[in-house]
């Protein structure tokens, strides 16, 4: 609806509301029909509603974590060196003993290194 047309219909709507008459009685003898006045009212109300409450925004993609959130996240533990003492010399490929705190671990060729790492980490936590 153009601004000129809208202004004309708003004026007619205000006159109708001030008259206290039904739409049919108010439009009787006028150069527009009751249905046209109803349509104009619906258009103006819809325009007003659109200005008051904009349509909902489309869903946003997950946001990246802010710097403040990253700063508060616990830092991964840095690997620490464990003092290792080798006692005695055995032939290459035989066994060795790893001491962590008061614990001794005899390690042979083919040991599961992931398991050994877990055991050493657990023992380190007990030493701290």
Q: Give me the pLDDT at residue 74, please.
A: 61
Per residue in 86-127, pLDDT tens? 666 656 667 778 787 778 888 888 888 888 888 888 887 765
Helix (H) or strand (E) holding 66: none
Domain boundaries, the chain: 3-52, 95-127
Per residue in 43-72, pLDDT tens? 887 777 666 666 667 777 666 666 666 566
Cα(54)–Cα(47) distance, rounded to whole angstroms?
Answer: 11
Q: Give me the pLDDT at residue 31, please.
A: 93
Say if CB 12 and CB 23 are below 8 A apart.
Answer: no
β-pairing verdict for 95-100 and 103-108: antiparallel
Over 70: is that where the pLDDT of 9 sits?
yes
Say if CB 32 and CB 42 are below 8 A apart.
Answer: no
């Amino acid at each position: 609806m153009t601004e000129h047309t809208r202004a004309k219909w708003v004026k007619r709507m205000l006159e109708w509301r001030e008259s206290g008459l039904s739409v049919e009685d108010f439009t009787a003898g006028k150069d527009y029909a009751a249905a046209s006045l109803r349509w104009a009212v619906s258009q103006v109300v819809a325009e007003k509603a659109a200005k008051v409450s904009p349509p909902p925004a489309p869903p946003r993609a997950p946001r990246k974590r802010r710097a403040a959130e990253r700063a508060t996240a616990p830092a991964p533990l840095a690997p620490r060196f464990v003092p290792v003492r080798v006692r005695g010399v055995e032939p290459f490929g035989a066994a060795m003993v790893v001491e962590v705190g008061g614990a001794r671990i005899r390690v042979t060729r083919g040991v599961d290194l992931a398991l050994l790492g877990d055991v050493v980490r657990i023992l380190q936590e007990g030493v701290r």
